[in-house]
Structure formats: structure tokens, C-alpha cells
């Protein structure tokens, strides 16, 4: 549970960073960014977007739970919450003024730069920090992981074990539903 914090001033140094995303599902690329951010900031808040219009495989609760389980050993240093509405409003509700985003390739840059510029326009005191993805994660995206996993492909090098198990369960559920006679 986050307390409504006082808007951080531009000059005040911060110890908390917010890492927002859809995380449908969490990938090894996300895990790496969260781990690296937690070595720089005392606390990382993973903010899971609630977006009812997006066709998500995992519910918001499932996504929060999977990330929480993955980072259980980080205790208070990594916390996982869900948010809806504007990201900058969420960041204002914390004691942070730093947004972390990962960059995998040049092709990510246009979208990420646009988001960072819009967020700065909305809230000039909030800064976006980019961390470059490790080379071995540069081809991984939640979209690709979902597609491959649901078609029975091996995604074990792309997601943590908790997510791998959850993906297998989803696939089994889906196959069971498809196998059911209609009447
Ligand atoms: O993992 P994603 O889907 O690339 O994350 C995108 C996210 C959640 C960071 C972005 O869609 C977002 O901030 N949404 C909240 C609405 C908002 O603030 N929009 C204005 C900035 S684009």
C-alpha cells in the first residue's frame, strides 16, 4: 500500500524509482532491468498498468502476483503495485520522481522518447532514465513470449521459472477449453 506522498521537488534527490509497464508477462529482460535498477536506487516500485482495453493473457492480479513472487527475496527493496490512469499521477503519489524504462533496440527509441517527452510536458519534475537491455535479452518481448508459449514453443530462456509455470498452466487451460464439446 502506497502512502500519498508530498510532490518531490526538482532539487530533492530521490532514492526510489518507478518501473512501469504492462508485464503481460514479466520477461527476463524486465527482471534484469529491475535488478540493475535496484542496485542504483534504494527502492524500486514496479508499477503494473491496469488497462482493461488491452487484450491481456494474464489478469492484473496474476501479473502483480508473478512479479511479487519473483522478487520476494528483495523484501522492501522491490515492491509491486498496480496503477491505472496517468503514469505521472501515479509517480506523484509516491516519493519518487524517476521513471525507469528499458531500451532493447534503436526501434524502441521513437516510442520511448515520445513517452518521456509527453511525461515531461505533463510533469517537468519527473525524469525518465533509460537502461539498455543486455544483448541476450534484446530480442525478448512479452508479445513474442506469449505467442511462442501458447503455440507450444520453448520460452525457458526468456522468462523466469514462475512465469514459465504460469504460461504452461495457461496453455493447458486453453487447450482444455478448446477440447470441450460445444453441447
Ligand atoms: O510495458 P509497456 O506496455 O510498454 O508500458 C507502457 C506504459 C504502461 C509505461 C504506458 O502505456 C503508460 O505509462 N501508460 C499509462 C498512461 C499514461 O500515462 N500515458 C501517457 C504517457 S504515454
- Whether ligand 1 lies within 6 angstroms of the CB of 72 is answered as no
In a domain, 6, yes or no: no
Give catalytic status of residue 146 as yes or no.
no
Integer-rounded Cα Rg, in Å, for the chain is: 17
In a domain, 2, yes or no: no
Q: Which pLDDT band holds residue 157 (cuts at 50, 70, 90)? A: very high
Give catalytic status of residue 30 as yes or no.
yes
In a domain, 161, yes or no: yes
The CATH number of the domain holding residue 145 is: 3.40.50.620
State the cell numbers at 107.
526501434
Q: Which residue has its alpha carbon closest to ligand 1 atom 17?
A: 86
- Digit-coded pLDDT (tens) for 94-104: 999 999 999 99
- Digit-coded pLDDT (tens) for 16-57: 999 999 999 999 999 999 999 999 999 999 999 998 766 899
Q: Which atom of ligand 1 is nearest to the CA of 83?
A: 15
Pick the closest to residue 145 from 78, 43, 18, 57 (CA basis): 57
The structural domain count of the chain equals 1
In a domain, 1, yes or no: no
The catalytic position among 4, 54, 75, 180 is 54
| pTM score of the predicted model | 0.92
- Whether ligand 1 lies within 6 angstroms of the CB of 21 is answered as yes
Amino acid at each position: 500500500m502506497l502512502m500519498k506522498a508530498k510532490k518531490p521537488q526538482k532539487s530533492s534527490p530521490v532514492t526510489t524509482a518507478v518501473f512501469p509497464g504492462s508485464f503481460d508477462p514479466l520477461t527476463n529482460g524486465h527482471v534484469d532491468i529491475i535488478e540493475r535498477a535496484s542496485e542504483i536506487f534504494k527502492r524500486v516500485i514496479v508499477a503494473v498498468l491496469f488497462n482493461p482495453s488491452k487484450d491481456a493473457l494474464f489478469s492484473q492480479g496474476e501479473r502483480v502476483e508473478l512479479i511479487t513472487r519473483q522478487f520476494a527475496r528483495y523484501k522492501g527493496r522491490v515492491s509491486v503495485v498496480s496503477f491505472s490512469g496517468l503514469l505521472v499521477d501515479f509517480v506523484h503519489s509516491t516519493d519518487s520522481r524517476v521513471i525507469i524504462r528499458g531500451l532493447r533496440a534503436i526501434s524502441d527509441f521513437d516510442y520511448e522518447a515520445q513517452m518521456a517527452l509527453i511525461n515531461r510536458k505533463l510533469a517537468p519534475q519527473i525524469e525518465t532514465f533509460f537502461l539498455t537491455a543486455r544483448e541476450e535479452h534484446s530480442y525478448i518481448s512479452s508479445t513474442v513470449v506469449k505467442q511462442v508459449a501458447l503455440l507450444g514453443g520453448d520460452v525457458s530462456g526468456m522468462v523466469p521459472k514462475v512465469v514459465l509455470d504460469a504460461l504452461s498452466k495457461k496453455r493447458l487451460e486453453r487447450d482444455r477449453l478448446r477440447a470441450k464439446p460445444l453441447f
